[in-house]
C-alpha cells in the first residue's frame, strides 16, 4: 500500500500545478485580449486615416492659408500607415491627428463657403462617427489593459507575471481638447 | 405636444358627446354584469344549502367519499371563470368603441405626429429582433399601438401582454408572473449591426455550448452607478461601448429612476427596444368607475407623455454620428 505521505504530497503537487496552469492561462488570455482590443482600435484608426485625403482636398479648395495644418495632417497619416510603427507610436500619432482635426473644424467656422459645402459636411459627419467608434474601441482597450495590469500587479498572479516577463501596460489616454486658436483673419 | 390644459378643453368640448354615449353604455353593461354576478352568487348559496351535513356517527372517510358536495365545489371554480368570460365578451364591443371614438382622437390631439390603433399588427419579426421577447404565436397580445415620428425619431409603442409563458427575458415587476406593460421601439441615432442587451440586475454570461466564442458576452462598463442597476451583454464589445456612451449610460440611469420600475433595453438592428412592466393595463376604459372623470384621460395623457419622453430622455433626436 502506498505511503499516505506520498499520496498527500502528490495531491498537493497536482493541486498547485492546476493553479499554476490556470494562472498562466489567465495571464495569456488577458494579454491576448489587449492585442484583440488594439486591433479594433487600429482598424478604426485606419478608417479615419482613409477619410483624411478627401478632407485635405476639400479644405484646401476653400482655406488656402491653413496649408501648414493640412501638410502636418498628411505627414502624420503617412507615418501612421507605414510599416514598423509600434502601438505606443500609433497612440501618440492618433493624439496628434485628433488635435489637428479639431483645429480644422474650429477654423472652418471662419470659412462660410467651406462650412456650407456638402462634401465637407458629409466628411465631418463621417469623422464624428468614426471618432465615436474610436472612443468606444479605446474604452474597450483600456478595460482590457486595466484587467491585465491588475493581474500583473496583484498577488499571486504577479509572481507568475514576473516570471513570464509581463510588465504593466500603458492606457490609451485621450488628448485634451485645446482652446480655439484665434483666427488670423479676425472676426 | 399639447398641454394638459389644452387636452382638458378638448375633453370638455369635442369629446363630451361621445363620452356621454359611452358612459351610458358602460352603466348598462355594468348593471348587467352585477346582475349576472348576483344570480351566480345566489345559485352558489343554493347549492351550498343543498350539501348534506352528514349523518351522526358517519366516519370521515365515508363523508369524504360522498360526492354530493361536488357540484358546489365545481361551481365555486366554474362560476367565477364564467363571469370573467362573460365580462370579457360584453366589454369587447365597448372597448372597441372607446378606442375608436376617444383614443383615436385623443392621441393625435396630444401629438399630431402620432397615430393610434387598438389592434394594429406588430410584426413578430420586429419583436424577435429585440432579442428580449420571444413572440410565440398565440402566447401574447399586442394592443393600443401608437406610432409616428417624434422629432427625427421614428417610434412605435404599444401594450404587450404575455398570455402564457413565452420564455422571454422580460418579466413582470415581481419577476415571476407573465409580462404586462409598455413595449417601446425607436430608431436609434447610431448605426450598428450587432446586438447589445441592458438588463436589470447583474448581466448573465451565456453558457457556451460547443467551441468558439459565446454569442453574447458580458461587457464591463465604466459607470459604477450604471453597473449597479444593469448588466450588459453584447455580441461586440466595441459596438456596446459605441452605443453606450458615458452620457447615454447616465441618461439610462436617470430614466430608470424616473420610471421607478425595472427597465429592459435592447439595441439591435440600429433600433432601441425598451420594455417596462406595468401593474395596470394601459389605455383601458373602466367598467365600474365613471368614464366622465377627467383624471382617466389625464392618465392616458401621462402614458403617452412618458413614452414620448423616452426619446428626449435618451437624446435620440441628436443625430451627429452619420445617421440622420
Our measurement of the distance from residue A81's CA atom to the centroid of its chain's CA atoms, rounded to an integer in Å, reads 14
| pLDDT at residue B111 tops 50 | yes
Closest residue on chain A to B189 (Cα): A129
The mean of the pLDDT values for chain A is 85
> pTM here?
0.82
For residue B291, name the pLDDT band (cuts at 50, 70, 90). Answer: confident
Task: Find the CB nearest A143 among B190, B220, B323.
Answer: B220
Q: How far is CA B35 from the centre of its chain?
A: 31
Q: Residue B144: which residues within 8 A CB-CB, separation 6 or more? A: B99, B103, B116, B118, B158, B159, B282, B283
Cα(B90)–Cα(B98) distance, integer angstroms: 13
What is the model's pLDDT at position B172?
67
- The pLDDT, as a whole number, for residue A58 is 85
pLDDT of B35 higher than 80: yes
Q: Given this model, what pLDDT does residue B202 score?
A: 60
User: Residue B114 pairs with which residues in a beta bridge?
Assistant: B148
Q: CB distance B322–A129 less than 8 Å?
A: yes
Give just the sign of the alpha carbon dihedral B80, B85, B90, B94.
positive
Which residues from chain B sit within 8 angstroms of residue A128, using beta carbons? 320-322
CB contact B152 to A (< 8 Å)? no
Q: For chain A, report the end-to-end CA distance as a whole number of angstroms.
A: 97
User: Residue range A31-60: average pLDDT?
Assistant: 90
Whether the predicted pLDDT of B318 surpasses 90? no
A125 and B322 in contact by Cβ < 8 A? yes
Query: Quick one: average pLDDT of A71-99?
Result: 87
Q: Does A93 touch chain B (CB under 8 A)?
A: no
Searching chain A, which residue's CA lies closest to the CA of residue B191?
Answer: A129
Would you state the pLDDT for residue A182? 36
Q: Give the pLDDT score at A179.
A: 39
Q: Which residues contact B118 (CB under 8 A, 6 or more apart)?
A: B95, B96, B99, B100, B103, B143, B144, B145
| A146 touching chain B per CB within 8 A | no
- Round the CA-based radius of gyration of chain B to a whole number and report it: 25
Instruction: Categorize the per-residue pLDDT at A181 as very low, low, confident or very high, splitting at 50, 70 and 90.
Output: very low
Mean pLDDT of B240-253: 93
Query: Side-chain half-sphere of A163: how many Cα atoms within 13 Å?
Result: 9
B-interface mutation test, from A125, A134, A174, most B Cβ less than 10 A away: A125
The long-range contacts involving B86-94, CB below 8 angstroms and separated by at least 24 positions, are: B86/B33, B86/B36, B87/B33, B87/B287, B90/B29, B90/B32, B90/B33, B91/B29, B91/B287, B94/B22, B94/B25, B94/B26, B94/B29, B94/B285
pLDDT band, very low/low/confident/very high, at B57 (cuts 50, 70, 90): low
Q: Is B220–A128 a contact, with Cβ atoms under 8 angstroms apart?
A: no
Give the pLDDT mean for A11-37.
94
- Cis omega before residue B32 (within 30°)? no
Contact yes or no for B238 and A137 at CB 8 A: yes
Q: Give the residue among B226, B222, B239 at the shortest CA–CA distance from A129.
A: B239
Q: Number of helices and strands (H, E) in chain A?
A: 6, 0
Residue with the bigger pLDDT between B176 and B32: it is B32
Whether B211 has a pLDDT exceeding 60, the answer reads no
Looking at residue A166, what is its pLDDT? Answer: 93
Higher pLDDT, A174 or A9: A9
Instruction: For B170-194, write each residue's pLDDT tens digit.
Output: 876 666 678 999 999 999 999 999 9
CB contact under 8 A, B238 and A125: no
Q: Is 80 exceeded by the pLDDT of residue B158? A: yes
* DSSP secondary structure letter of residue A64: G
Helices vs. strands in chain B: H and E counts, helices first: 10, 9
Q: Test B242 with A132 for CB contact under 8 angstroms.
A: yes
Contact A125 B242 (CB under 8 A): no
In the DSSP assignment, the letter for residue B215 is S
Task: Check residues A115 and B271 and name the one with the higher pLDDT.
Answer: B271
Amino acid at each position: 500500500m502506498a505511503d499516505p505521505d506520498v499520496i498527500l504530497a502528490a495531491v498537493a503537487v497536482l493541486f498547485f500545478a492546476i493553479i499554476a496552469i490556470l494562472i498562466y492561462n489567465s495571464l495569456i488570455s488577458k494579454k491576448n485580449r489587449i492585442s484583440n482590443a488594439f486591433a479594433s482600435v487600429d482598424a478604426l484608426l485606419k478608417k479615419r486615416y482613409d477619410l483624411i485625403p478627401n478632407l485635405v482636398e476639400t479644405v484646401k479648395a476653400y482655406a488656402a492659408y491653413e496649408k501648414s495644418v493640412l501638410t502636418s495632417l498628411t505627414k502624420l497619416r503617412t507615418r501612421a500607415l507605414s510599416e514598423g510603427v509600434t502601438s505606443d507610436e500609433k497612440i501618440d500619432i492618433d493624439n496628434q491627428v485628433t488635435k489637428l482635426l479639431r483645429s480644422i473644424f474650429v477654423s472652418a467656422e471662419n470659412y462660410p463657403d467651406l462650412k456650407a459645402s456638402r462634401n465637407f459636411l458629409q466628411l465631418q459627419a463621417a469623422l464624428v462617427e468614426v471618432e465615436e467608434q474610436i472612443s468606444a474601441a479605446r474604452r474597450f482597450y483600456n478595460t482590457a489593459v486595466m484587467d491585465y495590469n491588475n493581474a500583473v500587479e496583484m498577488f499571486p498572479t504577479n509572481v507568475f507575471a514576473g516570471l513570464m516577463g509581463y510588465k504593466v501596460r500603458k492606457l490609451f489616454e485621450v488628448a485634451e481638447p485645446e482652446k480655439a486658436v484665434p483666427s488670423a483673419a479676425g472676426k | 405636444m399639447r398641454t394638459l390644459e389644452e387636452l382638458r378643453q378638448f375633453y370638455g368640448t369635442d369629446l363630451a358627446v361621445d363620452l356621454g354615449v359611452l358612459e351610458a353604455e358602460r352603466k348598462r353593461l355594468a348593471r348587467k354584469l352585477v346582475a349576472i354576478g348576483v344570480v351566480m352568487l345566489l345559485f352558489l348559496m343554493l347549492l351550498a344549502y343543498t350539501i348534506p351535513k352528514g349523518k351522526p356517527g358517519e366516519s370521515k372517510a365515508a363523508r369524504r367519499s360522498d360526492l354530493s358536495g361536488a357540484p358546489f365545489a365545481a361551481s365555486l371554480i366554474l362560476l367565477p371563470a364564467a363571469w370573467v368570460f362573460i365580462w370579457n365578451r360584453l366589454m369587447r364591443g365597448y372597448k372597441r368603441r372607446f378606442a375608436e371614438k376617444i383614443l383615436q382622437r385623443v392621441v393625435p390631439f396630444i401629438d399630431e405626429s402620432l397615430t393610434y390603433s387598438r389592434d394594429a399588427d406588430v410584426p413578430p419579426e420586429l419583436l424577435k429582433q429585440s432579442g428580449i421577447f420571444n413572440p410565440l404565436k398565440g402566447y401574447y397580445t399586442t394592443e393600443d399601438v401608437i406610432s409616428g415620428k417624434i422629432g427625427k425619431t421614428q417610434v412605435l409603442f404599444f401594450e404587450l401582454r404575455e398570455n402564457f409563458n413565452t420564455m422571454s427575458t422580460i418579466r413582470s415587476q415581481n419577476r415571476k408572473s407573465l409580462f404586462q406593460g409598455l413595449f417601446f421601439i425607436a430608431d436609434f441615432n447610431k448605426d450598428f449591426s450587432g446586438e447589445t442587451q441592458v438588463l436589470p440586475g447583474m448581466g448573465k454570461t451565456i453558457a457556451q455550448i460547443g467551441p468558439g466564442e459565446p454569442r453574447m458576452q458580458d461587457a464591463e462598463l465604466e459607470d459604477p452607478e450604471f453597473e449597479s442597476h444593469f448588466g450588459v451583454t453584447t455580441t461586440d464589445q466595441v459596438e456596446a461601448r459605441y452605443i453606450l456612451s458615458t452620457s447615454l449610460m447616465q441618461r439610462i440611469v436617470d430614466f430608470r429612476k424616473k420610471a421607478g420600475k425595472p427597465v429592459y433595453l435592447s439595441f439591435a438592428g440600429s433600433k432601441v427596444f425598451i420594455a417596462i412592466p406595468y401593474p395596470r393595463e394601459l389605455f383601458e376604459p373602466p367598467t365600474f368607475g365613471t368614464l366622465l372623470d377627467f383624471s382617466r384621460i389625464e392618465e392616458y395623457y401621462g402614458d403617452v407623455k412618458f413614452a414620448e419622453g423616452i426619446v428626449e430622455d435618451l437624446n435620440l433626436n441628436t443625430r451627429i454620428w452619420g445617421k440622420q
